[in-house]
Amino acid sequence: MNPRLRIALAIGLMLTLAACAAGTPDAARTAGEGPISLIVLGFWHGLIAPVTLVVEIVRKFFTGVLPLNWHLYETSAASVPYDVGFYFGLAGGPGFLISRWR
């Protein structure tokens, strides 16, 4: 597969799944649906943590540039299953996935 197509598909997938970033109403609603959804939500938030961190830094120092209301951690989901998923997501983050994708 063409590397440019891979990058385009990865970016498209990330943008599609970004609707579940921490701090969004969808993430808060999903947080109340049980332990399995909390693990998956935490895993997803761990995977996108580097992107979310950049968004938070840009929002903090350049107010008004990004209209996104993302956070690094979903406070309404603070529980053991969410934390387990979050740390597994951090461990299997983008660097690990990119190194395995080649």
pLDDT of 97:
57
What is the residue-wise DSSP string for 22-89? TTSHHHHHHTTS-HHHHHHHHHHHHHTHHHHHHHHHHHHHSTTS------SS-GGG-SHHHHHHHHHH
Name which residue leads in pLDDT, 80 or 15. 80
Sequence ranges of the domains in the chain: 3-101
> pLDDT tens across 47-63, in order?
888 888 888 888 888 88
Q: What is the mean pLDDT of the chain?
A: 77
Its pTM surpasses 0.85: no
pLDDT of residue 47: 83
pLDDT of residue 79: 83
